[in-house]
Amino acid sequence: MGKPTESRFGHERDIYFMSCALQQAKKALTKDEVPVGAVVVSPEGKIIARGMNLVEDKHTQHAHAESLAIAKAGKKLQDWRLEGCWVYVTLEPCAMCMQLILLSRMQGVVFGATSPLFGFHLDNALMLGLYKKCTLALIQGVGKEQAELLLKQFFKAKRLKKNKKIRNG
């Protein structure tokens, strides 16, 4: 049996939920944050929380899009256990966020772009093996092109700004 290619909600809904996460990423971009967005979807298939990267604004490492969305979902449900919920995030979660997802007992993660520098895949053998009852579904590549484009735009603008600063001394 291969890796799942869609969530329990189906491919069409996966695309829709990822488009909502991409809207959050676009909002983060307007705030000069790394453009990452996330939404948490209930077992019934309704968006219950949204989050965007606010690391710079909040001056803390834990203000990642998925972390903020998960906190909002817990508050909305009045429970830290998000059993049956899915998180849709535009960029592969880092190790910190993946641990949060696991500890929140979520059912699955759908992400767009991979993160070659900070993605959980760098040490997922260690991470996913920590819990005896890990049944987390992982689906990648939904909205990948749009997510990558936002990230490339952001980092290109940052490099141009940095180079301009260096030239102007």
Active-site positions read 66
Q: Which amino acid is at 158?
A: K
What is the C-alpha separation between 33 and 24, in angstroms, rounded? Answer: 11
Report strand pairing: 37-41 vs 47-52: antiparallel
Report H helices in 7-143. 11-30, 55-58, 65-77, 95-103, 124-128
